[in-house]
Structure 1
Amino acid sequence: MLNAPATTPKPAPFDGGAPFATDTEEIVAGWAKRLPYSDVRLLAHAIDAGQAITVEYVTVSGNRSVRTLSRLTLDPPFLEAWCHLRDAERVFTLSRIHGVMSAGFALG
């Protein structure tokens, strides 16, 4: 009991009451509702750590696209990033991200 924190974490409103590890996780989970918690954690970590990430994204026209993104900036409800497929800065709607995986390469 001596090591217990003075207060308990406040429950996160987006996951039924369990606290998130970071504010970024909570924000991503609130906007990217289709993502399982493991993908929310992976995306939030990439944002916080400045790491590249690969996402499955559904475009406005309904087409699925796999994009590797870096230089991530969270601006809810959007994710601004460098898109390696288009070789340009792009803006992605968080609710259209349907899957997340490690990018598989290191940035230099």
Structure 2
Amino acid sequence: MPTDAGPDILAERLLKAPPTAPEPDPFGSGVPFATDTEEIVAGYAKRLCRTATSARSPMPIDTGAAITVEYVATSGSRTVRTLSDLELDPPYLDAWCHPRAAERVFTLSRIHGVMPA
């Protein structure tokens, strides 16, 4: 591509370029991610089943919906927590933890299950 192309020429080339498809999911189903959030979560939460955050429904992080998660602490103990006020900060999820009645930070890779609250 010539380096002396002006903004108008570059804009015209971009408009003529074919659209690119989203990357398929890492689980090999060939189904593209519905949102950037879904792709980010899938990249960090490897143990989280994709059906739990299905492309057929919006991600709770995007909608502001409360969720209940199965979380494995660094000690190895499993807990179930209801979370709201979700904020994605990869590789972490900042949220209000209802059982602890406090703001908590959760490592995405330690979330093993998600369901509506």
TM-score category (smaller protein):
0.7 to 0.9
Matched, 1:40 2:71: no
Percent identical pairs in the alignment equals 64
CA contact (8 A) 2:22 2:33 kept: no
Q: 2:83 aligns with which of 58, 62, 69?
A: 69
Aligned to 2:73: 59
**Residue pair 1:81, 1:91 contacting (<8 A) in 2 also:** yes
Using the size of structure 1 for normalisation, the TM-score is 0.82
Count residues with an aligned counterpart: 98
8 A Cα contact 1:77 1:93, kept in partner = yes
Q: Over alpha carbons, which structure has the higher Rg?
A: 2
| 2:35 paired residue among 22, 38, 41 | 22
SS in 1 for 2:54: helix
Q: 1:85 aligns with which of 99, 103, 117?
A: 99
Question: TM-score scaled to structure 2, two decimals?
Answer: 0.76
How many angstroms apart in 2 are the aligned matches of 1:87 and 1:94? 20
Q: Report if the CA contact (8 A) 1:14-1:26 is conserved.
A: no
Q: Structure 2: which 5+ runs fail to align? A: 1-17
Asked if the contact 1:67/1:85 (under 8 Å) is kept, the reply is: yes
Per-residue Cα deviation, 1:13-60 (whole angstroms, up to 9, x for no partner): 634453100000000000000011111338961100001000000001
Query: Matched residues in 2 for 1:19 and 1:8: separation?
Result: 11
Report the 3-state secondary structure (helix = DSSP H, G, I; strand = E; otherwise coil) of the residue aligned with 2:113.
strand
* Deviation of the 1:12 alpha carbon: 3.7
